[in-house]
Amino acid sequence: MVSDAESAPVFAKPPVTLREVAAAAGVSVATASKALNGQGRMTAETRERIRETARLLGFRPNSLAQSLLRKRSFTVGLLTNDTYGRFSLPLMAGVSDALVDKGVSVFLCNVEDDQRLGQLHVEAMLDKRVDGIIATGKRIDRHLPVDLSNLRIPVVYAFTQPDPGAVGLVSDDAGGARLAVEHFLRLGRRRIAHVTGPAGFAVVHTRAEAWRGVLKENGLTTSEPLLGAWSEGWGHEAVEKLFGKAGRGGQPDAIFCGNDQIARGVIDALRERGIRVPDDVGVIGFDNWEIVAEATRPPLTSVDMNLASLGREAGLALLSLVDGQPAAPGIRKLPCRLVVRQSCGSPPG
């Protein structure tokens, strides 16, 4: 039977301090500290006795005290404005994953697109003496609504526009696009269209350039990319434009889409027109948003930006900056990866 008196104030007893360990082991705090950290000189027997005592008492050093002294909090801030998006989550997981093993914890700071909120969070992080900051967002070509340029701690930008002279990590969108188009070429497709998002996004142009580049390199005729919205609806419309005038020989046998939602719209529209995917037309998307890619019929081949890796790299980059290792400023691009499902077809052989 558990009494109320027993269960209620269960979180009252304070943690064990080094002083208590020292007392229990019959040594000074200095000796105890050195014993546990493998520092200083003492008999192996003493060291072991202290360690055993600490273990028995469940001693865990107070990070706050350690941080105060060492001027390292083993804490970093993660700033994002991608509240509901799907980009920041894998990225955050990657960051967290890279850092937890080194004993570094991550402050999650959601700043929306709000200056005031950004300011608030940055100040809170600074006050808590974070060792560094990772800035991330939903767009590679936009700044967060905060100024991180004159902080006295290192900053790494991942999947967001870096300040000039700062360290930035982004996905290699051009490379990702090449991956898709070259895959189509290997499968024998020759008339490859590109349906993508609005002109206002930098990645729209990056990917379109790469698409066009691969076609040119292979001596194929190029056309204009179809710019629209990042939506299924636009995918439908685009199919209308591409296949509207029936019977024309110039209709594509492959469509490279700017994201998975567009691709989904494209595939649905093609099916409704009785055009078979992948037999008549192959489709490749971008983002590899699994829940969408796997629900299309057939399942969607898509370019994955490896956001978790990006997050991991960002975490590691920040850490080495914190350790005083100067990092080459500028933007580093991390490779994408093509996840092949069934929407792109199989080799002709």
Residues that bind DNA (CB under 7 A): 14-15, 17-19, 26-31, 33-34, 36-37, 39-43, 46-47, 59-62, 65-66, 68-71
Q: Site for its own copies (CB under 8 A): how many residues?
A: 68
Give the helix/strand (H/E) hosting 314.
helix 307-322
Q: Residue 33: which of 66, 82, 11, 73 has the closest Cα? A: 66
Q: Closer CB to its own copies, residue 237 or residue 253?
A: 237
Of the residues 96, 171, 288, 343, which one makes contact with its own copies according to CB under 8 A = 96
Count of other CB atoms within 10 angstroms of residue 245: 9
Q: Which does 89 bind (CB under 5 to 8 A by kind): its own copies, DNA, none?
A: its own copies
Q: Which of residues 253-292 bind its own copies (CB under 8 A)?
A: 261, 264-265, 268, 290-291
What's the closest the beta carbon of residue 3 comes to DNA, in angstroms?
27
298 binds its own copies (CB under 8 A): no
Sorted by sequence, the CB contacts under 8 Å of residue 208 that are 6+ apart come out as 177, 194, 196, 225
CA 211 and chain centroid, separation: 24
Q: Which does 150 bind (CB under 5 to 8 A by kind): DNA, its own copies, none?
A: its own copies
Of the residues 24, 51, 57, 90, which one makes contact with its own copies according to CB under 8 A = 90
Q: Which does 56 bind (CB under 5 to 8 A by kind): its own copies, DNA, none?
A: none
Of the residues 3, 5, 6, 12, which one makes contact with its own copies according to CB under 8 A = 12
Distance CA 45, CA 195 (A): 72
- How many degrees, rounded to 5, is the angle at CA 305 between CA 224 and CA 335? 90
What's the closest the beta carbon of residue 126 comes to DNA, in angstroms?
12
121 binds its own copies (CB under 8 A): yes
Q: Which of residues 139-178 bind its own copies (CB under 8 A)?
A: 150-154, 165
Of the listed pieces 20-28, 30-38, 104-112, 174-182, which binds its own copies according to CB under 8 A?
Answer: 104-112
Compute the radius of gyration of the chain from its Cα atoms. 27
Distance CA 220, CA 91 (A): 37
Distance CA 121, CA 16 (A): 32
Distance CA 71, CA 203 (A): 40
Q: Closer CB to its own copies, residue 12 or residue 246?
A: 12
E-strand ranges in 12-86 read 75-80
263, 264, 265, 269 alpha-carbon torsion, rounded to 10°: 100
Distance CA 298, CA 247 (A): 25
Residues near its own copies, by CB under 8 A? 7-8, 10-15, 60-65, 67-68, 71, 73-75, 78, 83-86, 88-90, 92-93, 96-97, 100-101, 103, 105-110, 117, 120-121, 123-129, 150-154, 165, 231-233, 261, 264-265, 268, 290-291, 295, 326
